[in-house]
Structure 1
Amino acid sequence: MQSRRKFITQSSLAAAAILTSNSLFAEMQKENAAKKLIILHTNDVHSRLEPFPMDGGRNQGLGGVAARAELIKKIRSENNQVLLLDAGDIFQGTPYFNIYKGEPEMKAMAAMNYDAVTMGNHDFDAGLENFAAQLKHVNFPVLMCNYDFSNTLMEFKYQPYKIFKKGKLKIGVTGVGIQLTGLVPDSLFGNTKYLDPIQKANETAATLKKEEGCDMVICLSHLGYKYSDNKISDMVLAKETENIDLIIGGHTHTFMDAPELYTNKSGSGVLINQVGWAGIQLGRLDFDFAGFNPKKLSKSHTVVVGKKTIE
């Protein structure tokens, strides 16, 4: 009788231990899931709302907002924590912009639920006033820390940064733009003042990391990936910053097969990525903040819009 009672007691304890173990494992999985982030990004889409025509060209059938929207919808259906960002030059390049001045582009991005964008030089092509007017069609912020829009129609229609909460993560996002003088007619950017992008990016990133306690700081950049001269680029920015973790670039239409890693002034790594132009590709970066190696890039994809994913 004693042995039977002992057996029952031991069995009950074992079962309780298994249930507790399973519960802890499930809790750990839930905790780890709350520390994963997928970043989707585009740049230099240049009003390419439809796919390239089937004319035998290299890009035939690629791009288009319908195919991009389907990809984004599928990824979001499989993952809870997703950020969708754009690094500028939304406008210019097809008759849609010539006729409608950016309205369909903005409406399409709003329908895809972009989280934030920055501005490129071609976003001034119908004038700063036009860009400001088109923002009535969107529900996402324009992020820019090195353009001073005081005394323009953009003055109250942009932000230097925004903090996004995804699960247990705080993600800070800012934006930097290229020097407009000599690239854009003065009449199109008006009273916009260009400020040093490295200085302003450093100031903003320090606020996000040290004061706001962000787990990650992302810079949407329209500076261009790199140049043969001393012009400020993403590569220069990466080396001269201290608190930026990821630069999502534009302007140079650079197709990068995978993000490139640079070392910043404090000895930490900074990733740079860019996905060409015309919406041909959708960038995807999967980050894992769990465990002892926070902000680990666990996987990067180049998603070819209208074609199979390249791993």
Structure 2
Amino acid sequence: MERRIFLQKSAIVGTGLAISPSLLSFPKHPEHLEKITILHTNDTHSNIETFPSTHAKYPDQGGVARRYSLLKQIRKEEKNVLLLDAGDIFQGTPYFNKFHGELEMKLMSHMGYDCATMGNHDFDAGLEGFLNAYQYGDFPFVCSNYNFDNTVLKDVIKEYQIFKKGPFKIGVFGVGVQLNGLVAKANFQDTTVSAPIPVANGIAKHLRFEEECDLVICLSHLGYEAKQFKDNDQLLAAETENIDLIIGGHTHTFLPKPEVHTNKIGEKVLINQVGWAGLALGRIDFYLGEKKRHKRHELVMV
């Protein structure tokens, strides 16, 4: 079952919507390998329309319509595509104030999102409000360190989700930021929060060895670095194993390309985050190579 995982360089710019480039390494002759394209967003914050031409920083950029056109283009070119979101889907424009998340769920479903995790602002309508909006969502939410057993979201938010794309078996799980002090207690009620890194280690190990996933992806809404938050993506990468890719959110960080970090046993793990407001679409292409004799997955920089 063991295979080598390669990464391909890719950088595309759509009309007013940028694709964050993937890692600058790829096999010289990848034609014989199977490819999966991971696309992702984070912190879209109810931004539905393109920014106006008068906007001081992002004139005529972003917008759901442009993202949808870009997604259709990529899906036409690639046969194995997974579209993910790292949280904070809600809050930020009058669309959320008016429709309370219903529109965001409908649009994400129409765009074909495969999976998302919860950010702190996804509690802004309360648990009942989230559940009401989620009736219009046809993709799973995952969050491993939030326990909703004593809430209306019991059995709604999953620990992880497994996807099969071509020859790839991909395990996706999520971890979220501490809610106390960040979210009003009335909005998360009896949700309990566990330390994310021990939980992530347990879930990643399960996905790698029990579920035999070729790729393990963590959707993180912890934030990018230590000076911003104690639990963060860089610490998550350094103190875990069996995670191949951390797709981050919460800090609205525009990374120019995915970063290569080293995990607790010296293996490589990628971190990427693509800002906010749907201004960028992250893309990383993985290639599936030949089987290996020992049971370890490897991100190979060629």
| TM-score range for the pair, normalised by the shorter chain length | 0.7 to 0.9
Q: Larger RCO: Structure 1 or Structure 2 (Cα < 8 Å, ≥ 6 residues apart)?
A: 2
1:56, 1:92 → 2: CA distance? 19
Whether contact under 8 Å (1:148, 1:194) holds in the other structure is yes
Q: Structure 1 residues 140 and 278, CA, compared in 2 at 3 Å: closer, same or farther? A: same
Whether contact under 8 Å (1:288, 1:296) holds in the other structure is no
Residue 132 of structure 1 corresponds to: 131
2:55, 2:35 → 1: CA distance? 41
1:297, 1:177 → 2: CA distance? 30
Residue 61 of structure 2 corresponds to: 62
Higher helix share: 1
Aligned length: 269
Gaps spanning 5+ residues in structure 1: where? Answer: 1-27, 299-311
| TM-score, normalised by the number of residues in structure 1 | 0.83
Matches within 5 A, 1:240-251: 240-251=239-250
Whether contact under 8 Å (1:176, 1:220) holds in the other structure is yes
For the aligned residue pairs, the C-alpha RMSD in angstroms reads 1.8
Whether contact under 8 Å (2:268, 2:299) holds in the other structure is no
Whether contact under 8 Å (1:37, 1:81) holds in the other structure is yes
Q: CA deviation at 1:56?
A: 4.5
Residue 80 of structure 1 corresponds to: 79
Residue 115 of structure 1 corresponds to: 114
Residue 14 of structure 1 corresponds to: none
After superposition, the C-alpha distances for 1:96-122 in whole angstroms (9 at most, x for unaligned) are 001110111110000001000000000
Q: CA deviation at 1:60?
A: 1.1
Higher strand share: 2
Q: CA deviation at 1:30?
A: 8.0
Secondary structure at the aligned position of 2:256 is classed as coil
| TM-score, normalised by the number of residues in structure 2 | 0.86
Equivalent residue letter for 1:266 = I
Equivalent residue letter for 1:267 = G
Q: Structure 1 residues 231 and 294, CA, compared in 2 at 3 Å: closer, same or farther? A: closer
Q: Structure 1 residues 296 and 82, CA, compared in 2 at 3 Å: closer, same or farther? A: farther
Residue 176 of structure 1 corresponds to: 175
After superposition, the C-alpha distances for 1:133-179 in whole angstroms (9 at most, x for unaligned) are 21110110001100000121110111101111111111110000000
Q: CA deviation at 1:297?
A: 6.9
In the alignment, is residue 222 of structure 1 matched against residue 221 of structure 2? yes
Instruction: Flag as ranges the 4+ runs of structure 1 deviating above 6 A.
Output: none
Q: Structure 1 residues 200 and 99, CA, compared in 2 at 3 Å: closer, same or farther? A: same
Q: CA deviation at 1:290?
A: 1.8
Larger Rg: 1
State the percentage of identical aligned residues: 55
2:234, 2:275 → 1: CA distance? 16
After superposition, the C-alpha distances for 1:27-49 in whole angstroms (9 at most, x for unaligned) are x98862xx211000000000000
